[in-house]
Amino acid sequence: MKTVVHKANSRGFANHGWLQANHSFSFAGFYNPEKIHFGALRVLNDDVIAPKMGFGTHPHDNMEIITIPLGGVLKHRDSMHNEWQSVLPGEVQVMSAGTGVQHSEINGSDEKHLSLFQIWVFPNKQNVAPRYDQKGFDASERKNKLQTLVSSIDEDFEGSLKIHQDAVLSRIDLDEGKSFEYQLKSSNHGVYVMNIHGELKIGDQVLNTRDAIGIWETETFEIAANENSEILFIEVPMI
């Protein structure tokens, strides 16, 4: 089993006033040649956006974009839809940029900060028709068991959002003292494990809030919660 550990305080950080951004991988003004991507995972940004602020209209193409609100209200509008759409904590949003799409993202609250993860995954198909989807996920369905949020559009897996990549995004909320064995899809896959909150142990590595570990060249691994922990798994081909 191969691993790479990314501690929370080793991430790139940018304070734009209205935006507090943490970058797990090289992005914008943050560049680290050892943190360009993890397999097909290109971006994992951990953002906090001030009330009424956000990202104006900007383009994307040939990228699978997944947004997971953690707190507050995200409002999204794109060139496929004229109306603003709200995305709330408990929901996940996916967008296949494909041949090209323009979109805007703002904090929909006048009072509260918005916190979210934005994830970019390289697609396995180029120049597809742009598409958008969002879905709510019941937190009780990931209590001490794996809940699949996103999977490949080529797989007949019900209940998840779909992207153009042989990837799986999932979450689990582990109670203190509980453990879980994660099984990877294939020998060609790796998984990037982000500890959203809590303290957990994988092998001899202890991960605290916002610490992450990339794992590959193994079939399974065990994860144990030293305290109540919320965990995000991003499994991707190791391209």
Location of structure tokens 């929909």? 108
Secondary structure tally for the chain: helices H, strands E? 0, 22
59: phi then psi, degrees, rounded to nearest 5: -95, 155
Beta strands in 159-198 (DSSP E): 161-163, 168-174, 179-183, 189-197
Provide the greatest CA pair distance for the chain: 50
Sign of CA dihedral 32, 215, 158, 72: negative
User: For every residue of 88-110, which 3-state class applies, written as one string?
Assistant: CCCEEEEEECCCCEEEEEEECCC
**What's the pTM value of the predicted model, to 2 decimals?**
0.97
The number of angstroms, rounded, from the C-alpha of 120 to the middle of its chain's C-alpha atoms is 8
SS3 content of the chain, % helix, strand, coil (to 5): 5, 60, 40
* Coil, strand or helix at 9: helix
Instruction: Give Cβ neighbours of residue 175 (< 8 Å, ≥ 6 apart).
Output: 143, 144, 225, 228
- Provide the token pair at 177: 């003292």
Indicate if the pLDDT at residue 59 is higher than 90: yes
* Alpha-helix runs per DSSP H in 66-217: none
- The Cα–Cα gap between 81 and 109 comes to 21
141: phi then psi, degrees, rounded to nearest 5: -85, 0
Residue 233's pLDDT band (cuts 50, 70, 90):
very high
pLDDT tens column, 118-159 = 999 999 999 999 999 999 999 999 999 999 999 999 998 899
Amino acid making up residue 193: V
**What's the pLDDT at 239?**
87
Indicate if the pLDDT at residue 219 is higher than 80: yes
**What's the pLDDT at 82?**
73
pLDDT tens column, 62-93 = 999 999 999 999 999 999 987 899 999 999 99
- The Cα–Cα gap between 121 and 9 comes to 23
The string of DSSP codes covering 131-147 is: EEEEEE--GGGGBTS-E
**What's the pLDDT at 81?**
85
Q: Would strands 161-163 and 147-152 be described as parallel, antiparallel, or unpaired? A: parallel
